[in-house]
Chain A
């Protein structure tokens, strides 16, 4: 079955530590996104990538980094510079067709907590 796989489901970060969240998709979608969700708030865009080897900052990119070396993979690194990393992180992708590229398909998320 096609879809987006995020791992791990739960992740704990120590002070000063960088952690990487994995996102893999087999939908053959070109564009991929990372959103952050905090309780009681809407989703906020961290980074997005429209094509391999290219990515752009979203609204809250500070303290995060990404790479897009393969079409299927878009990992997110939460660096020690991110002072409030506790949140639910969602990876998503959109299909390439003009009439459907606003429809985000989401993974099941990673809950990151600080020890």
Chain B
């Protein structure tokens, strides 16, 4: 089945630094989603990407839909302590009618030191 591999698995950075993480797949996705999960809470959607090559921003966050459709990238600029959490990439599975059936990456754990 479809699998998503995220890297790095974890990051320890200083406040103010920029962050880059990526998500790769062996199969094509037509939509890429990036979620953030705060400790003990449910994930919250950050950015949705629908077109190969698309670059979308949400405040300090920027995500890109890879041209091959097999990867996506998330960048965070000028990190702050509240950026701490787990970042997940996800995509709808091929086929079927229920698009909420997402495949998730294993997550990137971000720690920001003040």
Contacts and interface: CB of A to CB of B under 8 A. Distances in A.
Interface of A: 4, 6, 31, 33, 40-45, 48, 50, 56, 58, 90, 92-94, 101-109, 111
A92 B4 contact: no
B100 A48 contact: yes
Given A31-B100, A45-B101, A50-B97, A103 B45 contact: yes
B100 A33 contact: yes
Contacts, number: 72
14 contacts: A33-B101, A40-B9, A40-B107, A42-B104, A43-B43, A58-B101, A90-B42, A101-B98, A102-B31, A103-B48, A104-B43, A106-B44, A109-B42, A111-B40
A31, A58, A101, A103 — which one has the most chain B CB atoms within 10 A of its CB? A103
B92 A102 contact: yes
Interface residues of B, number: 25
Contacts of B100: 31, 33, 48, 92-94, 101-102, 104
A103 B32 CA distance: 10
B102 interface: yes
Nearest to A111: B40
B21 interface: no
Contact of A106 (B31, B43, B92, B97): B43
Contacts of B33: 102-103
B97 A41 contact: no
A42 B41 contact: no
Interface string B73-98: 00000000000000010101000011
Nearest to A98: B99
B101 A106 contact: no
Contacts of B92: 102
B56 interface: no
Nearest to A95: B100
A42 B1 CA distance: 14
Contacts of A92: 42, 100
B66 interface: no
Contacts of A42: 4, 88, 90, 103-107
A31 B99 CA distance: 9
